């Protein structure tokens, strides 16, 4: 599948920040909740949620519900493989 240059640039911009790179590295080890990431990163919940939204919008991560918990994981989409 051919990915446009604009899409690749947007994906790289989403990942090109140290906290978001750390989130991607952490999610490469397994699925985590916002609470997990907040504790590990030592950042506020709103800040972590903002990073997660940018990564979700770029297609780099996915989100799923398990009961009342929202878990995040690396995406298996083409955007994540770029």
Domain range summary for the chain, segments of one domain joined by +: 5-81
Q: Which CATH number is 5-81's, of 3.10.25.10, 1.10.10.10, 3.40.1190.20, 1.10.3720.10?
A: 1.10.10.10
Is the pLDDT at 77 greater than 50? The verdict is yes
Average pLDDT, integer, range 48-74: 96
CB-based contact 36:7 (threshold 8 Å): no
Taking the C-alpha atoms of residue 1 and residue 50, their distance in angstroms, rounded to an integer, is 29
Is the pLDDT at 78 greater than 60? The verdict is no
CB-based contact 10:47 (threshold 8 Å): no
Residue-wise pLDDT tens digits, 10-25: 888 787 899 999 999 9
Q: Where does residue 14 rank: exposed (0-12), middle (13-18), buried (19+ CB within 10 A)?
A: buried
């Amino acid at each position: 599948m051919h990915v446009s240059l604009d899409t690749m640039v947007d994906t790289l911009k989403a990942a090109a920040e140290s906290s978001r790179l750390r989130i991607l590295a952490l999610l490469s080890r397994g699925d985590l909740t916002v609470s997990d990431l907040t504790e590990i990163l030592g950042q506020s919940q709103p800040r972590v949620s903002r990073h997660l939204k940018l990564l979700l919008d770029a297609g780099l991560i996915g989100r799923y519900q398990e009961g009342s918990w929202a878990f995040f994981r690396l995406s298996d989409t083409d955007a994540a493989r770029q």
